[in-house]
Chain A
Amino acid sequence: SYELTQPPSVSVSPGQTVSIPCSGDKLVDKYVAWYSQKPGQSPVLIIYEDTKRPTGIPARFSGSNSGNTATLTITGTQAVDEADFFCQTWDSSNEWVFGGGTKLTVL
């Protein structure tokens, strides 16, 4: 089955830029979505189809996908962005796959 790999944690200082990678075999051939989840809350879609932002998601969130790695980038990180982030894709075996998640700490 297809697998997506994320680092368990990353940290960033307020106002700085942080990138969260998500790796998978030939991931560039698939669409990737990203979700943010804060403690006790449901996941929120923040990026879909690699680069698109749903209505209401701040422009400081952006996505890219190249080769075997998709990347979520937060530019000008705010304390409110502290959360768990999950990448997701859809495998040709008709399974939806999530990465293991990355905990973002804003120091």
Chain B
Amino acid sequence: QVQLVESGGGVVQPGGSLRLSCEASGLQFNKFGFHWVRQAPGKGLEWLTYIRHDGGRKDYAASVQGRFTVSRDNAKNILLLEMSSLRPEDTAFYYCAKDYGLVAATPAFDYWGQGMLVTVSS
């Protein structure tokens, strides 16, 4: 059974940095791409970034390009999101999500983590 468990959320001051982790189990981690998606409280879903199964391709939404960095450790089955220059509008629940496609990216995310709250406030 596929499980995605996130950690690292919390409160950070504007301009600060935070690193989120997503540990995966129950799947062949190195065969799938992963995404980060966020949801401001009471709002809709916003895709942030994608990393290919081998880490060789990374895509970012314009809203986080240059501030957020996605990476993965296929030996440890861990997905990471490094966030810097954080702003109050980055306050949201952050989810890691597995791409449905084997090796290639698809427009469908079939497993999601439980989500963790990141609050950017002084």
Contacts and interface: CB of A to CB of B under 8 A. Distances in A.
Interface of A: 1, 30-33, 35, 42-45, 48-49, 54, 86, 88-90, 94-101
**Majority-rule SS of A interface residues:** strand
A45 B109 contact: yes
Contacts, number: 64
Interface residues on B, range: 20 to 34
B84 interface: no
**Majority-rule SS of B interface residues:** strand
Contact of B108 (A33, A95, A100): A33
Interface stretch (B7-15, B17-25, B42-50, B69-77): B42-50
Interface string B82-108: 000000000000010100100001111
A86 B39 CA distance: 12
Nearest to A93: B59
